[in-house]
Chain A
Amino acid sequence: MNNLLILPIIIPLITGMFMVIVRKRIYFQRMLGILAIAGTGAVSAVLISQIKNEGIQVLHIGGWEAPFGVSLAADMFSALLLLTSSIVSLFCLIYAFGSIGKDREMHYFYPLFLFLLTGVNGSFITGDIFNLFVCFEIMLISSYVLISIGGTRIQIRESIKYVLTNLLSSLLFLVAISYLYATMGTLNFAHLSMRVAEAGQDGLLTAISLLFLIVFSLKAGLLLFFWLPGSYSAPPTAIAAIFAALLTKVGIYSIIRLFTLVFYHEPESTHLLIGIMAGLTMVLGAIGAVAYWDVKKILTYNVIVGVGFILAGLASGTTEGMTGAIYYLIHDIIIKALLFLIGGTIIALTSTANLRDFSGLIQTYPFLGWMFFVAALSLSGIPPLSGFIGKVFVTEGTFEAGYYWLGGIGLFTSLMVLYSVMKIFMNGFWGESYLDEENGQKLKKGLLIPIASLTILTVALGLGAEGLHSFASLAVKSLMDPSLYIEAVLGKN
């Protein structure tokens, strides 16, 4: 028993609900928001140290033992993602202070932001598949409101598409859960894993696992990403950044959890399919990223490339591939938030997203320019920065598994990604300055602080990859060996 596990879920929930009651006090809400997210981060840091010393932490809610009650289980993989998402959402929140506008703040922006985190944290930490569905819904319903809050024309249009797509995928999720419950008679991840292993993963179970793959692919933007570019370019910067950083990652987390813990018996069909989907996702995403001259579109297609790359690591099924997937997942959460924040800042400064319409920003905003440069290099995986180590491991894993084509696609799309972000840098930041001194807006310090912090974080993560390695290898150990998770949740008998 470890009651710390519930705190990442209820701290944002309680704080958010309290904010609904004190709706008009915006400064109070800002302070509360920072405190709540910092508290969540502190709890996840404590969890990480506990998991490192004592193994996987479990909480049976209400005291009902494992297969009968809902259990929460945090292994190193969950805890690392919890910590990263707390840090990144803290910076997105600080960015929102200076950019979101009084109108949205008055209409429950901060509570909704915290409810989104409630859902994300719950999805990362839950040990029960129906509870995962509930946490997904908490996250999605908050994101429906966040995407439409403010009510501009484009937001309403995109939110209709977004809501319809996600309602469909939630329905499929529910159907898949009922199939699974009908065949296996349990909903607990550990118990499911045990029963699937006992019964043998036959054709029916593989079919159910593929239904889950479709559901989570819709959420994660793996091949089924048709909804993603529109939805992610509609909302304001701070919201788009938290979407890009966290929402697809929850889908990725679910795919990894499900296909390492429960459906790992038929890798030649399921994992190969994930590999093919990941390869196609990378190629299509990279084509999109190269094709557009719109800053937001380029960045959203880069989100899609990242999804493909992480799942290529899972598809390889090797220790190296999984290590790479974990490194790249953490890196991707940070770098996507950073790139979206910078992209949004550029659009706010130039009031256009079209790259052909502005140039020479680096003369007026040198800090922003060089931070974008660092972020761009880090995104495409240049050695001292954080994207590198994940790419190396994933490529190594795919080569080791014999999927040379997949590793090759990964490397080639890295080039295209580098080209797409360098296109923003060279067209937007270099060249003749189209702004003169008095014409240029002043860049607010409040916006620069979160951007600078995330840039420092991505550099530090690249330089300190060795320090992270012991944690990442623990995470991989529990992912590669499901018996650890089962023993922790169900006990040793």
Chain B
Amino acid sequence: MKKQNDVILRIVARIAVVIILTFAINLFISGHHHPGGGFIGGLALACAITLLFLTYDIESVRDNIPFDFKAMAALGVLIAVFTGVGGMLYGRHFLTQAFNYFDLPLFGKTELATAMIFDLGVALAVIGTAMTIIITISEDR
């Protein structure tokens, strides 16, 4: 089959992927006070990678994102569970969430909560699962 010249798709995808990734991180961070959170943030990030898969071939994307996505999903669940265990270590109930206000250099006074770490776990699990499904059904072996 003659290889098609899809230069427009590639250029648009390069710009779009950056925008989607930014939007995914925004969704992830804003989950505490606005609609969003780990699940949808992770899904949006997986969408960005899927767009890369559609534009380029699987191998070149895998070379540039060399994660084992199954391990990433497992790691996500472990992070989420260990935030609960962290509460236990302080003698509280399992999954007790803590938060505090910090003065960060660039952001000023910021509320940081351990719910964020739980959400990070959820996001990793979602990205790992979605990518595993897509890669598994697209590779025929």
Contacts and interface: CB of A to CB of B under 8 A. Distances in A.
Interface stretch (B26-34, B55-63, B88-96): B88-96
B95 A62 contact: yes
Interface stretch (B2-10, B11-19, B78-86, B105-113): B78-86
Nearest to B78: A17
Interface stretch (A6-14, A284-292, A309-317, A341-349): A6-14
Nearest to B70: A20
Interface residues on B, range: 10 to 19
Contacts of B82: 14
Given A20-B70, A20-B74, A3 B94 contact: yes
Nearest to B74: A20
A14 B78 contact: yes
A59 B77 CA distance: 21
B73 interface: yes
Nearest to B73: A20
A21 B75 contact: yes
A14 B75 contact: no
B94 A59 contact: yes
B22 interface: no
B50 interface: no
Main secondary structure on A side of the interface with B: helix
Nearest to A22: B71
A6 B85 CA distance: 10
Given A10-B85, A13-B81, A1 B73 contact: no
Interface string A19-51: 011010000000000000000000000000000
- Which of A10, A13, A59: most chain B Cβ within 10 A? A10
Contacts of B74: 17-18, 20-21
A202 B15 CA distance: 61
A3 B88 contact: yes
A59 B93 contact: yes
A490 interface: no
A448 interface: no
B120 to A, nearest CB: 15
B78 A18 contact: yes
B75 A60 contact: no
A61 interface: yes
B93 A60 contact: yes
B139 to A, nearest CB: 16
A-B residue pairs, 9 tightest by C-beta: A20-B74, A63-B93, A17-B74, A6-B94, A62-B95, A21-B71, A63-B96, A17-B77, A3-B88
Interface of B: 70-71, 73-75, 77-78, 81-82, 84-85, 87-88, 92-97
6 contacts: A1-B93, A18-B74, A20-B74, A61-B95, A62-B87, A62-B93
Given A6-B88, A10-B81, A10-B85, 13 more contacts: A1-B93, A3-B93, A10-B94, A13-B81, A17-B78, A17-B81, A20-B74, A21-B75, A59-B94, A61-B95, A62-B87, A62-B93, A62-B95
